[in-house]
Amino acid sequence: MSDLPRLIYKIATGASLAPARLAGHYAGMPIDLADGYMHFSTAAQLPETLRLHFKDQADLVLLAVPTAPLGDSLVWEPSRGGQLFPHLYGGPLDLGLVEWEAETSVDAEGHCDLPETVR
């Protein structure tokens, strides 16, 4: 895919991320483990992903990950409405790659406040 965004975003719960911080790598949420790859969203996809899959959840953490270091492990595949979503194959995410992280939550209607740094 040409014109890859510089950053993609992983949505994690604080509980799922806590043991990963000690290990230095993150295997993902239960859906990632079940599907065999890690789900990410672009900045444009992030609000809808949060609304659809994380409604009424607090203690969420957004991990901003640069696409370039992921190399061929990052695959863009069609999903919701034919949009190409970034999926990471081949193992856990090295937390040393995370450029920044921010806490967020999603209300019962699916609204959330994203950090200004999401672009």
**Residues 35-71 pLDDT 10s:** 999 999 999 999 999 999 999 999 999 999 999 999 9
Assigned domain for 115 exists: no
Residue 25 sits in a domain whose CATH number is 3.20.170.20
Supply the range of the domain harboring residue 19: 7-105
Q: Model confidence at 2, in pLDDT bands (50, 70, 90)?
A: low
- Residue 76 pLDDT: 97
The verdict on residue 24 lying in a domain is: yes
Q: Is 1 among the domain residues? A: no
> In total, how many domains does the chain have?
1
Q: How far is CA 24 from the centre of its chain?
A: 16
CA dist., res. 70 & res. 65, Å (int): 9
Domain membership of residue 118 (yes or no) is no
Give the pLDDT score at 3: 79
Structure tokens at 72: 């061929």
User: Residue 118's pLDDT band (boundaries 50, 70, 90)?
Assistant: confident
Structural domain contains residue 117: no
Q: What is the mean pLDDT of residues 109-119?
A: 86
**Virtual torsion, Cα 52, 56, 60, 64, nearest 10 deg:** 30
- Domain-embedded: residue 113: no
d(CA 115, CA 107) in angstroms, rounded, equals 16
Question: What pLDDT score does 102 carry?
Answer: 95
pLDDT digits (tens, 9 = 90+) for 74-108: 999 998 788 899 999 998 999 999 999 999 999 99
The span from the CA of 13 to the CA of 8, in Å, is 17
Q: Is residue 110 part of a domain?
A: no
Q: Which amino acid is at 22?
A: L
pLDDT computed for residue 80 by the predictor: 78
pLDDT at position 116 is 86
Q: For residue 26, tell me if it sits in a domain.
A: yes
Asked if pLDDT for residue 23 goes beyond 70, the answer is: yes
